[in-house]
A = this chain, B = another copy of it.
Amino acid sequence: MVALAGGVGGAKLAHGLARILPPGHLTVVVNVGDDFERYGLHISPDLDTVMYTLAEIANPSTGWGLVDESWQALTMMAQYGEDTWFRLGDRDLATHLLRTDALRSGQRLTEITARLAHKLGVAHTILPASDEPMATMVHTREKGILPFQQYFVKYRWQPTVIDLQYEGGDRAQVSGEVRAAVAAADLLVICPSNPLLSVAPILAVAGLRELIEQRQMSCIAVSPLIGGKAVKGPTAKLMREMGHEPSVLGIARFYNGLIDVLVVDSEDQQAIGQVLSQFPALSIFEMPILMKTVADRESVAQRIVDLI
């Protein structure tokens, strides 16, 4: 099984899948459009969120970062007069240091991620969407063009988005590992991540969308919206700003051609008829998809597996 995932929301379902599938049966392909450099460190926020979540060492209250984290390095950075809007935790720094050092020595992000995840006890495969650098650039009305982390963290996704660019996507190559995983998959799951900020940059990797469109296996998307609202984060706000209806209908339209099945929350049951009238080839299933606990993650994952 292959899952496409971005940050916190996607990592939750990936975690559920990881827990119910036998070791080695899941490959999570992760967005790298959020990657950026800070203090010379290569930071891959989504890769880390997925890795920490699958390793069960993620911070349970934020969903990102590490449990038992501390902020001493950042406090010292502030003492040096540095701007500390990006919250680099002390334990988290170890990941960034090892990744950056390995990248500088010429290793591929795919290999590095595999080694780090293995060391943390992750029994499945985590693959960056590409080994090439990508950058989601957010064109905003109030602040101009912002690199993703500035939009998301520094300005807390408050500026109005007028356009998005997935820089480097056309030059980025699908790695052999991603190609092989998609080719071998029985099922592809698009996790309930932000379609525009997490899934679109994965699909923007040159050739990846085509690879999925030509697929033999089923492709299922789990709605990131429940009752027109995001569980957390800017999905609904951003869809609206970018001209997409912030609803399961908007999600169906966004993934049209890519998916065979859309999973929506039970709360959106009454919208199913409308979606089906516009996308009659789509299968729609409803189930409770809000994942508050690890048991919820497992239960949603199990129901998805049972759908096949």
Interface residues of A (CB under 8 A from B): 39-41, 66, 68-70, 72-77, 79-82, 89-95, 97-98, 100-101, 104, 116, 119-120
Contacts and interface: CB of A to CB of B under 8 A. Distances in A.
Interface centre among A70, A97, A120 (most CB of B within 10 A): A97
Main secondary structure of the interface of A (DSSP, over half): helix
Nearest to A104: B40
A80 B104 contact: no
Contact of A73 (B73, B75, B77, B101): B73
A96 to B, nearest CB: 9
A265 B74 CA distance: 43
A98 B93 CA distance: 13
24 contacts: A39-B98, A39-B101, A40-B97, A40-B100, A68-B72, A70-B70, A70-B72, A72-B91, A73-B90, A73-B94, A73-B97, A75-B91, A76-B90, A76-B91, A76-B92, A77-B94, A77-B98, A79-B94, A79-B119, A80-B94, A80-B116, A80-B120, A82-B94, A93-B93
A155 B70 CA distance: 30
Contacts of A104: 40
Instruction: List 4 A-B pairs, minimum CB-CB distance, nearest first.
Output: A76-B94, A40-B101, A72-B90, A90-B90
